[in-house]
Amino acid sequence: MSSSAVTTAFAKAAAENRAALVGYLPAGFPDKDTGIKAALAMARAGADVIEVGLPYSDPLMDGPVIADAVYRSLKGGTRVKDVLDTVAAISTAGTAALVMTYWNPVDHYGVAAFARDLASAGGSGLITPDLTPEESGDWPRVSDEHDLDRVYLVAPSSPHARIAAITRLCRGFVYAASLMGITGTRDSVSAGAAGLVARTREHTTLPVAVGLGVSTPEQAHEVAGFADGVIVGSAFVRRLAAAPTPQDGIAAVRELTEALAVGVRRG
């Protein structure tokens, strides 16, 4: 089993005494071409890993910013092929790309077929926020066959036994949701985030990245003090959504990435 681009990205960040910066954008938003250009700008500006969101009609965990972007993407006709094209563009440019998706679209597409096509596009794996170990079915075996990472979520409410079961299935890194609830920027980092990372590290040697709520360089710096990775989503989407033109949106994503890339460095 070879090291993935995600594993390499986290190792590089650790060697540079910083947390890895993981950025999220939904595919096809505000349109396919602009979304790809924004992701590439993010990569050039310092993002180590990029999550490409697969738009889904029932985004239970998404806050209003991402939910609106996903709705607009779906309305614009975004399909799985567009998601894979976005992944291919990012991976061809030399940055690790993961697909962030609810499980239903993967199951509908066919688990083996999705793994095959994601690997063919150069994708590193999947982040599956609503998939539990008990419901993973063939995914662990199929993902191993295609050398794809499996990123599951642990939450502040997860007891030790649950964290152990989840981390046993993870490959690449573990996604620590810093708080219970939907995605979205917050004024401060959850007080329980550091404790969740510490509890997770008792069960795995994989990197642990914190997401949900991080939006500023100051918050990124705080999280970098106790986590291996900092995940930022809604803040990027908000800037892309608020921009008067696609070019302005891409520039706004680039500027935020540059600022966050400084923030994730440990003092």
Give the Cβ contact number of residue 76 at 10 Å. Answer: 15
Distance CA 52, CA 26 (A): 5
CA dihedral sign, ordered 139, 19, 24, 82: negative
Pairing of strands 174-177, 229-232: unpaired
> Torsions phi, psi of 178, nearest 5?
-70, -15
Any idea which residues carry the catalytic annotation? 51, 62
Q: How many CB atoms lie within 10 A of CB 147?
A: 15
Question: Helix or strand or coil: residue 136?
Answer: coil
Distance CA 104, CA 95 (A): 27
